[in-house]
Structure formats: structure tokens, C-alpha cells
A and B are shown apart, each in its own frame.
Chain A
Amino acid sequence: MDGLNVLGLIYVLVFLGLILATSFILRTRESRRLRDIPAFERLGRAIGLAVEAGSRLHISLGRGHLLTTQSAIGFVGLSILDRIARSTSISDRPPVSTSGEGSLGILSQDTQSDAAKYLGVESDPTRGRITGLTPYSYAAGTLSFIQEEDIGANLLIGSFGNEVALITDAAERKEGMTLGGTDNLTGQAVLFATAQEPLIGEETYAGGAYLGAGPMHIASLYAQDILRWVIIGMILIGAVLKLFGVL
């Protein structure tokens, strides 16, 4: 076992320990304060407006392959889909999801089916659609879907490249709210320019915590914050040591 592997395992175990410890500490506290992310506040309002207006919410899950690191953002998208499907129970038009990867499509149908069972309503498998299997065919399929359906708000949470601009443009034309976050750097730059509410970096992964997906989401957010400060500290120490010629 080489040193890098040991460090990696230690890092994962420390992260896990922090999540569990934070969730234990938070269990006894009544208020769990999260820093303000305006995009999620506006999303809450957009969900309410969409339910009142009888329009649909669209969650685009991207093309994250489940055997790569892109799966993480796909799972975050599924958590958000689950929360929204459950919170829009009073709407007569349940949310719909689109994805560009087979396994993600199946999981989105499963998530919607679970939410429908929880609410005691009939599930429709066509609410979780696969609109294309290559980046541009996925974007083309999703934009035609947005054009045809009465969409009140679009949430683009998944792995997207620059093709996401085609989707945000279609959403903009339909005058629906667009919130977008991705794990891809090019996709983030494009979303910053095209989405009404872009999410940068780790903000995308915080979606579950802000939408009330459970205490573990909040605990993992705190753990991320702690580790981010540790990393910042290490970078600064490294820079100082480099400056003085120690490293």
C-alpha cells in the first residue's frame, strides 16, 4: 500500500467521521443555519409559483455516467428531484425529468415512482424521460421538450458541457426560471452566462440540504465547509513555505 493510497483512505475516513460527528451534534440543535444561496431562495419561490399557476417543474439531470465521478452530481440531481416531487404534492401537474444517460433515466423514473407511492398517487413512467444519448442530441431533445410543455421553472442539475446553452436558451424563450449547476468547468462558465440562477462549484452539491432532503445533507455540508477551510489553510501554509524556500 503506497503513501498516496493511505492518505486517500485517511481523507475519506476523516470526511466520513466529520459527517457523522456533525450529524450527531446537529441532532441536539434546533436551528441549523445555512449560509444564504440566493438561487435556492428563488427556487423555493419558483416552485410555489409553478404549483399555483399549474405549470410543470422540469429537472434536467444531464449525462452523468454512473461509473465515473460524474455520478455524484447525478445523485444530487436525483435527491433534488425526489424533494421536489414530494413537495409539489398539491400540484395537479407533477414535475418531469429529462436525462441523457440510460441508468440515470431509470433512476429518475424510480425516484418519481417512489415519490408517487409516498403521496399515494398514480405514477407515470414517462415523467422520467431520456431525451438523447449524445451531448447534442440530449440538448436537442430537451429543448424541444421545454418548447412543447408548459414549464414554469427549469432546474439543470447534472453533468453538462457547453451544449447546456441550447437548453437554457429554450427555457429563456419560454420565460421560465432557470437554475443550473454542473461539475464541468466549461458547463459552469456557460451556465454563469446563460442561466438566471447559476450555481458555482460546491453550491450545486448543496441542493439537497437547502431543499430539506434530510439532516445528513446538512451534516455533509458542514463537513465540506470544515474541510474547505483545512484545504485553504494547507494551501496558504504551502505557499508560505514555498516563499521561504522550505518546500
Chain B
Amino acid sequence: MKNPVYTAIAIGVGIVVLLGYFLQIDLLANLRIVLLEWATILVAVALLVGIVNLFVVHFRKSAADQQNRINSIVLIVSMTITLLVAGWFGPTHTYSLWIFNYIQIPIEASLMAILTVMLIYAGIRLLRRKPNLLTIVFIATAVIILLMSGALFGIDIPGLSELRIWIGKVPAVAGARGILLGVSLGIVAAGLRILIGADRPYGGS
């Protein structure tokens, strides 16, 4: 069973933040801001803990005689160099920006490029895996939108750009709104479960 003190703190803070958002009472609004500032600091500390966790896991992997340990060694060396450079010179110095612009961005752009190929392959695989009407509509819509995004071989087929605009404005927006309404209901339900202590994703057993 979770420690009731942690549960009481979580519920109390949750109620104050929620009421501070809806009710324009100075005390509640100020308390909400202070609590959110504390939460921001905690999240920043958690980020540092996350970096330490990443380092420790890969340090252990690189020390052990494991397959693909080279990946962990590369990660540790890169992380150490980046931390030293950004820590010593500052995050906006030319050296730090060089690492960001010439190493991180190209690597992430390469992953994005791989992603394009993967998504095309996934589309083909989807037709084989789930050959139903929903899949056909999904693939057909994606293909139509892609084809209409640019002039095909310089040929402007009349009516096609209007079709693209209509798909973008009517069925796509309607579907997106439907999904977002479901998501928003889920978000409120998940938040309320935590607020009443039914869900307790924090420590203190």
C-alpha cells in the first residue's frame, strides 16, 4: 500500500493547482504558480537524474563483454565531450553550436530520411497485413495528398487540387477532431483518477 502522506500531498497539490486554474482567487492563483515553479525545478532535476541513468546503464554495458558494446562506448565518449564543451564554454558558444549543428542535426536528419523509406515500406506491409476497407482508405488518402502536394510532372490536372483541399478541410479535420475529443476525454479521466487517489504513479510503498 502506498504511503498515505504521499497520496495526501499529491491530492492536495492537485486540487490547489486545478482550482487555481479555474478560480480567479489571488491566494489560489499565487499558490498554483509557486507549486508549478517547484514542479518545474523537480522536472529539471529529474532530467539530470535521467542523464546520469543513461550514463550509468551504458557505462555498465561498455564495461561488460556484451554484443554492440561499441554503441555504448560511442555514447559515453560523445556525452562526455558534449558535457565538457557545453559546460566549459557555455551552450551558445561556437564550439557547442558546432556540435549541435554539425553532429546532432545531421544525425537526426539522417534518421528522418530513413523514416521516410520505413513509412513507405510500412504502408505496403499494412496492405498485406490488414487488407480491409479502412487500410485502403488510409493508403489512398495518403497517396492522394502526396500526389496533390506538388504538380505531377508539371501537369496540373483540373479538380485534383480542389480534391486535396476538400480532403484536408473536411474528412481529415473531422477525423482529427473525433480522435482529439476521445484523447481529451482520456486525459481528463486520467487526471481525475490521480486527483482522487485511484491512480498513484508515485513512490512510497
A12 to B196: give the CA distance in the assembly, Å.
12
B52 CB to closest chain A CB (Å) equals 9
Q: Tell me the dominant secondary structure on chain A's binding face.
A: helix
> A205-B190, A217-B193 given as contacts; is B179 within 8 A of A200 (CB)?
yes
Binding site for A on B (CB under 8 A): 2, 18, 21-24, 36, 39-40, 42-43, 45-51, 53-54, 56-57, 60, 66-68, 71, 104, 107-108, 111-112, 114-115, 118-119, 122-123, 126, 129, 138, 176, 178-183, 185-196, 198-199, 201-203, 205
A227 to B43: give the CA distance in the assembly, Å.
33
B48 & A166 in contact (Cβ 8 Å cutoff): no
A102 & B48 in contact (Cβ 8 Å cutoff): yes
18 pairs from A and B in contact (CB 8 Å cutoff) = A11-B188, A12-B192, A72-B191, A103-B42, A105-B53, A107-B202, A113-B205, A114-B203, A114-B205, A118-B205, A165-B119, A165-B122, A196-B129, A202-B183, A220-B192, A224-B189, A228-B182, A231-B185
A213 to B23: give the CA distance in the assembly, Å.
33
A216 & B193 in contact (Cβ 8 Å cutoff): yes
Q: What chain B residues lie within 8 Å of A221 (beta carbons)?
A: 189
A16 & B183 in contact (Cβ 8 Å cutoff): no
B46 & A144 in contact (Cβ 8 Å cutoff): no
A204 & B186 in contact (Cβ 8 Å cutoff): yes
Q: What chain B residues lie within 8 Å of A19 (beta carbons)?
A: 189, 192-193, 196
8 Å CB interface, A117-156 against B: 117-118, 126, 129-134, 136-137, 139-141, 144, 147-148
Q: What chain B residues lie within 8 Å of A190 (beta carbons)?
A: 119, 122
B183 CB to closest chain A CB (Å) equals 5
Number of interface residues of A (CB under 8 A): 82
A247 within 8 A of B: no
8 Å CB interface, A8-25 against B: 8-9, 11-12, 15-16, 19-20
8 Å CB interface, A78-114 against B: 78-79, 82, 101-103, 105-107, 110-111, 113-114
Q: What chain B residues lie within 8 Å of A193 (beta carbons)?
A: 119, 122-123, 126, 138
A175 within 8 A of B: no
B205 & A166 in contact (Cβ 8 Å cutoff): no
Q: What chain B residues lie within 8 Å of A65 (beta carbons)?
A: 43
Known: A1-B24, A66-B39, A169-B118. 17 other contacts (CB 8 A): A5-B21, A5-B23, A12-B192, A65-B43, A66-B43, A67-B43, A102-B49, A102-B51, A103-B47, A110-B201, A110-B202, A129-B57, A165-B118, A188-B179, A216-B199, A220-B192, A224-B186
